[in-house]
Amino acid sequence: MGRFLALMILLIPGVIAGYGIKLMRDTIFQLLNSPFPNLTLQFFSGLILFIVCLSFIGGFIFHRDRKNGKIAPRFQRKS
């Protein structure tokens, strides 16, 4: 059950990051999606979605590896 929950925690931000990439790609090909009034806002919304979700996934993996002791000594918690 714990592994399934961890998969769901990582899958949802992964899908949102994929949507952010889609928004940026659509901007490059000048395809405007309905909730956005212009292409610039669409691109920056996609960029923000991508960066936030990617940093969440990276932080989740870093926290898990720190807990299991699989990171470099300079990133270990100081006791």
Q: Model's pTM, two decimal places?
A: 0.88
76 contacts: CB under 8 Å, gap ≥ 6: 66, 69
Span 10-59, pLDDT tens digits: 999 999 999 999 999 999 999 999 999 999 999 999 999 999 999 999 99
Q: How many whole angstroms separate alpha carbon 35 and alpha carbon 8?
A: 27
What one-character-per-residue DSSP string does 32-54 give? --TT-SSHHHHHHHHHHHHHHHH
- Residue 44: the pLDDT is 98
pLDDT at position 6: 87
Query: Per-residue confidence at 79, pLDDT binned at 50, 70, 90?
Result: confident
